């Protein structure tokens, strides 16, 4: 068989092409992850070498010995690997809580807007019904009066100038001023009598209708105002439904409809953005904090700041993601825990707080150079607090067990 006969079989199928594309994407992700890890590993080596050089300067300037060993490098890697996952989980959880709160707040706002629109619509419907009832009542009275007015106008059209001249004032004072009686006597007076009688009827009807006309006008004006309010509310409702995709499952932010919680909502939004920023740059921040814990405990504050600045320059050169000004306290410090340390006797300066965080995350036994006894006091107070806490729990547990056995025996 020649190679020409094999060509159709060698043509790639659609499924085979999809598998190749998926494989390429997977390889790209692995290569990208490997590159990021390679940069971080290279930065770890750079951190170790920087600290080694600083130890020589530290000895020359302050006559203090500090040793950087392979164990320090292994501790750096171990601390970084354990903290990176923990920190990512904390940031993801905090961001999710904030976003969930924002989404629930948006749903509540949308529901409140719908309820408000329904209330305004009910008010407008009721006012429209009242206005229509007033209009119908007034129109009914007008319908009764208009035939008499039309008859008077028709009689007035048939009235001539000579008829008015012929009629004297005394005719209006007669008790028998009726159309049928007058028609037998004078044709001219018949038209005048019909017109006068019609105007008399229309006068009393108009007096009854005029207040209803005014009430109708006021009700119509009130209805117009209510209708404008309803239209505005419907526009807000349309904006909410559009932002939520027309369903309750949509979770988009409707910032312009927050109302009284606008300032708080803006702060929550900024917090979510800050958490997302920290998640994207957590690798460099945790690496810097791990370097602090593994290497910088024996150094003074000036040396710590100088080495941290050099590490940040290395991050920028190697494109390691990090926040604008990362530091040990902002990355690993817990404000509540730090406050409890300070209550227990830890000094409030940044160097002492850094020492407390290093003590918390260090994987080796820390050695305190404590001529003033501050660290000794702090540790003793923390031990007393812990003992009191556990002692209280132990007594509480024993008391519960004793009560349980007493109840069982009584049964």
How many C-beta atoms lie closer than 10 Å to residue 358's C-beta? 19
Contact in structure between 275 and 32 (CB atoms under 8 Å): no
Going from the N-terminus, what domains does the chain have, and what CATH number goes with each?
Answer: 108-261 (1.20.920.60), 333-411 (3.40.50.300)
Contact in structure between 299 and 54 (CB atoms under 8 Å): yes
262-to-96, 105, 354, 392 alpha-carbon distances in Å? 20, 11, 37, 44
Give the span between the Cα atoms of 353 and 32, in whole angstroms.
37
pTM for this model (two decimals): 0.51
Q: What are phi and psi of 110, to 5 degrees?
A: -65, -40
In the chain, what are the helix, strand and coil shares in percent, each to the nearest 5? 85, 0, 15
The per-residue pLDDT string of the chain (411 residues; one tens digit each, 9 = 90 and over) reads 443 443 444 344 445 344 434 444 343 343 343 445 567 778 888 999 999 999 999 999 999 999 898 898 999 999 998 888 888 888 777 777 767 766 655 565 666 666 676 677 777 777 777 777 776 776 676 666 667 666 666 665 665 655 554 554 455 455 566 677 777 777 767 777 777 767 766 666 777 767 777 777 777 777 777 777 767 766 766 766 666 554 444 444 444 544 555 566 666 677 777 777 777 888 888 999 999 999 999 999 999 999 999 999 998 888 888 888 889 998 899 899 999 999 999 999 999 999 999 999 998 888 888 888 898 999 888 877 655 555 555 444 434 444 434 443 443
Give me the pLDDT at residue 97, please. 73
Contact in structure between 307 and 51 (CB atoms under 8 Å): yes
Using DSSP, state whether 64 is helix, strand or coil: coil
Of the candidates 361, 344, 316, 325, the residue with the CA atom closest to the CA atom of residue 79: 361
Give me the pLDDT at residue 280, please. 80
Contact in structure between 76 and 294 (CB atoms under 8 Å): yes
CA 217-222-224 angle, 5° bins: 95
Give me the pLDDT at residue 11, please. 43
The number of angstroms, rounded, from the C-alpha of 392 to the middle of its chain's C-alpha atoms is 42
Give the span between the Cα atoms of 307 and 296, in whole angstroms.
9
Q: Which residues contact 100 (CB under 8 A, 6 or more apart)?
A: none
Give the span between the Cα atoms of 222 and 124, in whole angstroms.
9
Tokens representing residue 135 in the block: 């209009």
Contact in structure between 358 and 292 (CB atoms under 8 Å): yes
């Amino acid at each position: 068989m020649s190679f020409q006969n094999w060509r159709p079989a060698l043509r790639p199928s659609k499924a085979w092409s999809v598998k190749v594309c998926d494989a390429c994407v997977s390889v790209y992700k692995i290569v990208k992850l490997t590159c990021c890890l390679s940069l971080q590993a290279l930065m770890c080596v750079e951190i170790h070498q920087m600290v080694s050089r600083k130890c020589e300067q530290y000895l020359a300037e302050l006559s203090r010995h500090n040793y950087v060993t392979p164990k320090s490098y292994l501790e750096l890697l171990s601390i970084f690997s354990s903290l990176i996952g923990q920190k990512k989980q904390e940031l993801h959880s905090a961001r999710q809580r904030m976003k969930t709160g924002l989404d629930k707040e948006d749903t509540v706002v949308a529901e409140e807007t719908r309820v408000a629109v329904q209330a305004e619509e009910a008010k407008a419907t009721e006012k429209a019904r009242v206005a229509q009832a007033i209009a119908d009542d007034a129109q009914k009275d007008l319908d009764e009066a208009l035939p008499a007015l039309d008859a008077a106008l028709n009689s007035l059209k048939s009235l001539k100038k000579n008829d008015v001249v012929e009629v004297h004032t005394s005719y209006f004072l007669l008790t028998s001023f009726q159309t049928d009686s007058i028609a037998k006597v004078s044709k001219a007076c018949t038209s005048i009598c019909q017109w006068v009688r019609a105007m008399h009827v229309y006068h009393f009807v108009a007096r009854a209708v005029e207040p209803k006309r005014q009430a109708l006008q006021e009700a119509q004006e009130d209805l117009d105002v209510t209708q404008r309010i309803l239209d505005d509310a419907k526009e807000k409702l349309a904006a909410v439904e559009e932002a939520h995709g027309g369903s309750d499952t949509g979770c988009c932010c409707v910032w312009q409809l927050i109302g009284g919680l606008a300032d708080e909502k803006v702060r929550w939004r900024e917090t979510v953005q800050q958490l997302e920023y920290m998640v994207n740059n957590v690798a460099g921040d945790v690496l810097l904090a791990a370097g602090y814990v593994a290497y910088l405990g024996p150094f003074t504050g000036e040396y710590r700041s100088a080495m941290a600045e050099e590490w940040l320059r290395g991050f920028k050169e190697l494109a390691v993601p990090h926040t604008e000004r990362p530091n040990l306290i902002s990355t690993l410090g817990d404000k509540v825990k730090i406050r409890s340390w300070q209550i227990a006797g830890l000094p409030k300066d940044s160097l002492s707080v850094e020492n407390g965080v290093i003590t918390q995350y260090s994987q080796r036994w820390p050695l305190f150079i404590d001529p003033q006894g501050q660290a000794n006091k702090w540790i003793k107070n923390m031990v007393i607090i812990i003992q009191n806490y556990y002692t209280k729990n132990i007594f509480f547990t024993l008391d519960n067990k004793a009560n349980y056995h007493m109840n069982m025996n009584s049964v």
